[in-house]
Amino acid sequence: MNGHLEAWIDAYLDGELSITLKRQADAHLARCQSCRDLVAERKNLTALLQGFPPASGLKPGARFVAEVELQLKPRREAARLRSQVMYLSWQFFPVVLLLALAFVQTVSTLSSIVGVIPGANQILANRATLLPGSPILSIEVSDLFNILGVFNPLGWNLFTGIAAVLVISLAYVSWLAGWWVLNRRLAASLG
Amino acid sequence: MKVLEVDTTADETGLVSKAQAGDREAFGELVRCYRVRVINVVYHMCGDANLAEDAAQEAFIRAWQHLLDFQPHSSFRNWLYRIAVNTALDISRRERPDVDVESLELASPGENIEADLEQRERSRQIRQAVLGLPQASRGVLILREYEGLSYREIAETLDISIGTVMSRLNYARTRLAEILRPLMEGR
C-alpha cells in the first residue's frame, strides 16, 4: 500500500483488508488528515444511504408465495432424469478420456516390448490379416490402418500412439470449450 | 439497515433438493424465506415497490425453471440474488418505474409536517442518486450496503472478480459522495 488510501478506503471500512494491510492503513491514517477526512465522509455516506429504506406496503407473504406457486410450470420427471444423466455424463467425460489415455499408454508400452522380441512382428502381421473389419474397408484405407497398426493393437507404432494421444487431447480441449460455452449460456439464461 | 433475518441455513439444503425433485411446497418454503430479501434487492435496483414485487415473483419463477442448473455446493442465496439482480435489470429496461415517493417510510408521519417533508425530500434525493448510478456499480453497491454481502460473495453472485467488486464499489461510493455532499454537510 503506497500513498493515500483512496483505492483501499472501501475495503478498509468494509473489513475486507488483510491484517497486514489494515495495520498499514491504520498507520497511514494516524498521520494523514485528508485520509481521515475521507474515512469520515465514507462513514457519513454509509449512514446517509440508510435513508433509502426497504420496500414498504408489500402484499402479505402468504399471498406472494401463493401467486408464485400458481405460476410455476410443472417439471417433467423424464426431463429431470435426462438432465441429471446428461450432467453426470458430462462430468465423467474427462474420466473416460483419462482411461483412454491410460489404455493408449499401456498398448504403446506393450507394443514396444513386443517390438524387441525377435519374429514377433511377423507373427502379429500374419494374424492381423485374419482380424475381422479390414475386408469391409477399401484397400487404401485398410492399408493405411495396417500401417498404423489399428487392427493390431500390439503392433502399434509410434505414429499410432501419437495420433491417439492427439485425438484424446483434442477431445479434452473440445470438452473444455464446451464447458466454457455451457457456463456462459447458463449465466445468460439466468438473466 | 437490517432486513428481515430468516433462519435459512438449517433446512435449506434439504428444501433445495426437494424443490429440485419437483416439490412445490419445498420451493414455496424457500420463496417464503427469501421473499423480503429478493424484493428489497429488486426494489433498491429499480426504485418502485410494486414493480419490485412483480420482478421478485418473476425472479422466483426463473429460479424454479433453472433450479436443476443450481449446483448444491454453491450458495443458494447468492444464486437467487444473481437471478434477482438480472431480473431487476431486465424489468428496468422493459418498464420505466414510476417515482414511488408515497412508499417511502417516514420517521414520524403526521406529527411534524415540515420534518416529514424534509425527510421525504432527503429520501428522494438519496434514492435518485442510487438509481442514477450505472447498473453494474449499482448492483455491487446494493449487495454490499443493503444486503451486507462480503466482497467474495458479491463476486460469486455477479460472476465478477473481487478486484472488479472493489473498483465498482469505489466508483459508486465516490460518485454518491459527490452527488450527496450537500446532504452530508447538512447532517
Among all residues of chain A, which has the CA nearest to that of B20? A80
pTM: 0.64
Contact residues on chain B for A69, CB-CB shorter than 8 A: 24, 27-28, 31
Looking at residue A74, what is its pLDDT?
Answer: 73
Identity of the residue in A67, A84, A189 whose CB atom sits nearest the CB atom of B66: A189
Looking at residue A121, what is its pLDDT?
Answer: 62
Contact B60 A68 (CB under 8 A): yes
Contact B86 A52 (CB under 8 A): no
Looking at residue B153, what is its pLDDT?
Answer: 94
Any long-range contacts for B3-10 (C-beta under 8 Å, 24+ apart)?
A: B3/A54, B3/B36, B3/B37, B3/B40, B3/B146, B3/B147, B4/B36, B4/B37, B6/B33, B6/B34, B6/B36, B6/B37, B8/B33, B8/B34, B8/B76, B8/B77
Q: Are the CB atoms for B64 and A171 separated by under 8 Å?
A: no
Amino acid identity of residue A188, one-letter, is A
Looking at residue A30, what is its pLDDT?
Answer: 92
Q: Is the pLDDT of residue B174 over 90?
A: yes
b/e map A95-119, b = 16+ CB within 10 Å: eebeebeeebeebbeebeebeeeee
Question: Computed from CA positions of residues A94, A168, A157, A125, in that sequence, does the dihedral angle turn out positive or negative?
Answer: positive
First to last CA, chain B: 18
Cell 414493480, residue located: B51
Looking at residue A153, what is its pLDDT?
Answer: 56
According to DSSP, residue B111 is labeled T
The tens digit of pLDDT for each residue in B66-99 reads 888 888 788 899 999 999 999 988 887 776 555 4
ipTM of the complex: 0.79
Distance from the B23 Cα atom to the nearest Cα atom in chain A, whole angstroms: 10
Which residues, including other chains, have CB under 8 Å from residue B125's CB and lie 6 or more apart? B180, B183
Contact residues on chain B for A73, CB-CB shorter than 8 A: 64-65
Q: Find, among B102, B93, B82, B8, the residue nearest to B41 by Cα.
A: B82
Q: Which regions in chain A score pLDDT beneath 70?
A: 1-2, 75-82, 114-116, 118-157, 185-191
Looking at residue A16, what is its pLDDT?
Answer: 92
Looking at residue A165, what is its pLDDT?
Answer: 85
Beta-strand runs (E) in chain B: none
Chain-wide mean pLDDT for chain B? 84
CA distance B82 to B38: 10
The tens digit of pLDDT for each residue in B123-144 reads 888 989 999 999 899 999 999 9
Contact A56 B105 (CB under 8 A): yes
